Amino acid sequence: MPFLTVLYAYLFYGAALVFVSGLTYKIVQYTLTPAPLKIPTTPAPTTRGGVVLRMTREVVLFESLFRGNKWTWMFGWLFHFGLFLVTLRHLRYFLNPVPAFIEFIQPFGVYAGFAMIVGLVGLWSRRFLVDRVRYISSRSDHLMLGLLLLLGVSGLVIHFLFHTDIVAVKTFIIGLYHFDFNPLPGDPVLLLHLALLAGLMIIFPYSKLLHAPGLFFSPTRNQVDNPRERRHLAAWASRLERS
Amino acid sequence: MAKATFKVPVLSQYPEVPAITPGSMAHSTPFQAKPEFQAALGFPGELVENWQERAIEKMGELLTRYRSLRVYLDACVKCGACTDKCHYFLGTQDPKNMPVGRQDLMRKVYRRYFTVAGRLFPKLVGAEDLTKEVLDEWYSYYHQCSQCRRCSVFCPYGIDTAEISMAAREIMDSIGVGQKYCNEIIGKVYTVGNNLGLPGPALVNTLEGLEEDVFDDTGVHVRYPIDQVGAEVLFVTPSADFFAEPHVDGLIGYGKVMHESGLSWTFSTMASEAANFGLFIGSYENMRRVALRIREAAIQLKVKRIIFGECGHAWRVGYGFLNSLAGPWDFLDPRYPVPQHICEFTWDLIQQGRLTLDKSQNDDKVLTFHDSCNVARASRMGDEAGGQFEIPRAIIRATCNHFYDMDEETIRDRTFCCGGGGGLLTDDLMELRVKGAKPRMEALNNVIQEKGVTHMAAICAICKTQFSKVLPFYGMEMDQIISLHQLVSNAIVLTPREDDDDGDEGAQSRAENADEPD
């Protein structure tokens, strides 16, 4: 068995373990931490259904960001929607047989790769061009953008310039499900692409990428505006009433 | 023009986002609370010996108490959408007054002590130890946030800097670093019953005087009862309403509305304060203790309903938190929300045709309306989302012939704070208050120039005090800010009662009743 295959196999087992356990830990932590007071940013929906709609608009359309800054919204949405399509497209390397829907979106997924790059370049340039955004950017913010950009570019390079034996790649990935190590092609760009992906998975639960689960737990967005109708009390606050 | 020891911003017609000037407000720092005032709130008197350890411990505790704090410290991606939204940044150019800049003062400490990345690679992720310098920075910049929530409107994750400012203030209080203004005021509520420290007899006296004034003015005996057991309605209002200008003109209006409603009502010496400064210092315990006074008053006075007067943060606590802090309110009349806002009450009467209003009484004014931040973004009025914007405007339209809104980007949920909210309404922060008022002053100035607006109505005691103070700095008159219920008061046509030819009797009987619940 080639050394690289074993290395990458264990890299992905490790990355998946960190990703899943780290994310689970954070989600459990968020779930268990109470929100003792009703703090939705108003005007807010007065029903559960309304909150589902509000959250959907936030998740799908980035409604608040749209109101906040049109440039950041445009680049941010391009990047995220691009990434979403690209991720869907990549499911064909992970599923056997490939669902019809995933087959269908294959060509769009390639365009989405470019959209993703445009979005990232736009977002990154704001970190240099806008003095306020430059001020708040730390090294990790730049590195994160670099990582994602390199991930996207290397993917497009594999697709358009230096093809890899994609069938072998898929065999390698599917094999990992059963601890069955199949040889991974040794193309450098592919190896870079996969290493970056593993890196992304590893830092996800320990970085600002937590904004993804965080949004769903944001009390200013996910609370129903009904404090006068329903009494809202956290467990630790109800203990004050007994003392 | 008022005298200033600092440069008052120049108003422009089109709002501009300034270039950042690091450190321009680093000198701004409010007076610290003296030890005796700290003790009353359950906080150490001065900086404790092992303060760093204790602060981190407190932060850990708050992280398990408040999901908002935990999620918001994790989630920020530094997208920059909030950077040009804070009135204090727009007025001071200090990048630490950008919401994310302010949050990062705590986030860097959070990362250092509570995250793997910050423990292992502090430089990479901008993590820092909690040093004395950082603490001083916290004290300065967490007292440059009015907790107005404007940033949370635009944040893609709804990060509310107010939550972080409140937590920071609570951490600082817990190690003995409290702010004089907030903490002394909370102490006054505990000892006297209201923020201004007006004792019961002074309130009784003031209300008697008001009854006489209104009778002289209108010939109708409008009552301003206090501590009347068995009244239908307990009226809770910020204590500034009892005597400050222009607040008191609003209070006169409340009385006239109540008079026309025919309901028996009463103020209370126990609950002679609607505002709850426990909110500003992020202390659930203190906020609860202040709120429980309203419950106690409602029980003592055997009322069936509670109505709140015009006050922004008070309405946030009243509308949003009162049920959590001091509920359940099952002993009150379930047909009415607890509490109700005076604007909801007045608007109901107007809709039922029970108020006779003569709009021409306000024809000497051209109005605009300032949405108070915490009413706009942290509460509601009526049954519909956004009622907090529509109901006050509907009342203005029903009482005035001339009304124009300010620029859309500066009203409703995008309204700018007056610059004095969140525990910053103190003279030792005057520079901050004047500079922070700039975006609102700019929008006001524009409608003055374009529409001939003469007055701005508000429904918040802090807004009213703040504007009467800062308007002169911008070349406007302090009396251009008025209470919304002053407009109602001017327009309302009072229905005489049988005893109106004898002005003294009612005041006497009320004064006698005043002693009972004590």
Q: What is the pLDDT of residues B308-338, one digit of tens each?
A: 999 999 999 999 999 999 999 999 999 999 9
Residues facing B318 on adjacent strands:
none
CATH of residue B166: 1.10.1060
- The answer as to whether B4 is a domain residue is no
- Chain B nearest-CA residue for A33: B67
Q: Report the C-alpha gap between B5 and A191 in whole angstroms.
A: 64
Do residues B210 and B292 both lie within one domain? yes
Residues facing B233 on adjacent strands:
B265, B305
- The answer as to whether B466 is a domain residue is yes
pLDDT at B508 over 60: no
The Cα angle at residue A14 between residues A9 and A15, in degrees rounded to 5: 100
Domain stops at, among B115, B150, B178: B178
- For residue B487, what pLDDT is reported? 98
Do residues B264 and B166 both lie within one domain? no
CA distances from B2 to A150, B5, B466, B470 (A): 57, 10, 14, 8
Q: What is the pLDDT of residues B203-260, one digit of tens each?
A: 999 999 999 999 999 999 999 999 999 999 999 999 999 999 999 999 999 999 999 9
Do residues B326 and B450 both lie within one domain? yes
**How is B343-369 classified by DSSP, letter by letter?**
HHHHHHHHHTT---B-GGGGTT--EEE
- Residues comprising chain A, all counted: 243
pLDDT at B507 over 60: no
- For residue B501, what pLDDT is reported? 59
- For residue B512, what pLDDT is reported? 43
Residues facing B492 on adjacent strands:
B357
- The answer as to whether B21 is a domain residue is no
Do residues B158 and B193 both lie within one domain? no
Q: Is B50 helix (H, G, I), strand (E, B) or coil?
A: coil
- The answer as to whether B22 is a domain residue is no
Residue B124, chain A, CB below 8 Å: the answer is yes
Token representation of residue B310:
């015009």
Token representation of residue B501:
């030819």
Contacts for A180 with CB less than 8 Å, ≥ 6 apart: none
Domain stops at, among B147, B178, B209: B178
Residue B116, chain A, CB below 8 Å: the answer is yes
Query: Contacts of residue B74 in chain A, CB cutoff 8 Å?
Result: 26, 208, 210-211, 214
- Could you report the predicted ipTM of this complex, rounded to two decimals? 0.96
Token representation of residue A88:
């869907």
Confidence of residue B498 (pLDDT cuts 50, 70, 90): confident
**Is omega for the bond preceding B201 within 30 degrees of 0, making it cis?**
no
- The answer as to whether B143 is a domain residue is yes
Burial state string for A27-51 with b = 16 or more CB within 10 A and e = fewer than 16:
bebbeebbbbbbbbbbbbbbeeeeb
Contacts for B369 with CB less than 8 Å, ≥ 6 apart: B392, B393, B396, B403, B405, B406, B411, B456, B457, B458, B484
| Contact predicate A77/A119, CB 8 Å | yes
When CB atoms are compared, the residue of B67, B154, B337 closest to A64 is: B154
- The answer as to whether B288 is a domain residue is yes
Residue numbers of A between 76 and 105 with CB closer than 8 Å to B: 76
pLDDT at B45 over 70: yes
Confidence of residue B500 (pLDDT cuts 50, 70, 90): low
Query: Contacts of residue A219 in chain B, CB cutoff 8 Å?
Result: 67-68, 71, 158
pLDDT > 90 in chain B, percent: 93
| Contact predicate B488/B253, CB 8 Å | yes
Do residues B128 and B216 both lie within one domain? no
pLDDT at B494 over 60: yes
pLDDT at B108 over 50: yes
Q: What is the extent of the structural domain holding A186?
A: 3-242
- The answer as to whether B371 is a domain residue is yes
Residue B315, chain A, CB below 8 Å: the answer is no
| Contact predicate B195/B238, CB 8 Å | yes
pLDDT at B492 over 90: yes
Token representation of residue A206:
């320990």
Domain stops at, among B118, B152, B178: B178
Domains held by chain A: number: 1
Q: In degrees rounded to 5, what are phi and psi of residue B65?
A: -95, -30
Residue B271 CB neighbour total at 10 angstroms: 26
Alpha carbon of B290: minimum distance to chain A alpha carbons (Å): 14
Residue B101, chain A, CB below 8 Å: the answer is yes
Beta strands in B284-441 (DSSP E): 305-308, 340-341, 367-369
| Contact predicate B445/B477, CB 8 Å | no
Token representation of residue B361:
């009484």
CATH of residue A56: 1.20.950.20
- The answer as to whether B410 is a domain residue is yes
Give the 3-state DSSP-derived string for B386-403, with helices as H, strands as E and coil as C: CHHHHHHHHHHHHHCCCE
Do the chains contact at B377 and A240, CB–CB below 8 Å? no
Do residues B163 and B195 both lie within one domain? no
Alpha carbon of B125: minimum distance to chain A alpha carbons (Å): 5
Q: Is B19 helix (H, G, I), strand (E, B) or coil?
A: coil
Q: In degrees rounded to 5, what are phi and psi of residue A161?
A: -110, -65
When CB atoms are compared, the residue of B70, B126, B413 closest to A43 is: B413
Torsion on CA atoms B460, B464, B466, B467, rounded to nearest 10: 130
Q: Which residues of chain A have a pLDDT value below 70?
A: 1
Query: Contacts of residue B71 in chain A, CB cutoff 8 Å?
Result: 30, 214, 217-219
pTM for the whole thing? Answer: 0.95
When CB atoms are compared, the residue of B67, B98, B337 closest to A219 is: B67
Q: Report the C-alpha gap between A226 and B335 in whole angstroms.
A: 16
Residue A45, chain B, CB below 8 Å: the answer is yes
pLDDT at B3 over 80: no
| Contact predicate B472/B432, CB 8 Å | no
Pick from A41, A37, A51, A76: nearest CA to B414: A41
Do residues B160 and B216 both lie within one domain? no
Do residues B207 and B150 both lie within one domain? no
Pick from B3, B4, B7: nearest CA to B18: B7
Q: What is the mean pLDDT of chain B?
A: 95
Domains held by chain B: number: 2
Do residues B134 and B198 both lie within one domain? no
Q: How far apart are the first and last CA of chain B?
A: 47
Do residues B310 and B369 both lie within one domain? yes
| Contact predicate B406/B443, CB 8 Å | yes
Do residues B106 and B190 both lie within one domain? no
Q: What is the pLDDT of residues B351-369, one digit of tens each?
A: 999 999 999 999 999 999 9
| Contact predicate B470/B441, CB 8 Å | yes
Alpha carbon of A238: minimum distance to chain B alpha carbons (Å): 9
Pick from A191, A199, A195, A119: nearest CA to A158: A191
Q: What is the extent of the structural domain holding B484?
A: 186-493+504-512
| Contact predicate B208/B511, CB 8 Å | yes
Residue A235, chain B, CB below 8 Å: the answer is no
- Write A128-133 long-range contacts (CB < 8 A, 24+): A130/B80, A130/B83, A131/B19, A131/B20, A132/B17, A132/B20, A132/B80, A132/B83, A132/B84, A132/B95, A132/B98, A133/B78, A133/B79, A133/B80, A133/B83
Residues facing B458 on adjacent strands:
B483
Do residues B296 and B170 both lie within one domain? no
| Contact predicate B246/B482, CB 8 Å | yes
Residues facing B369 on adjacent strands:
B457
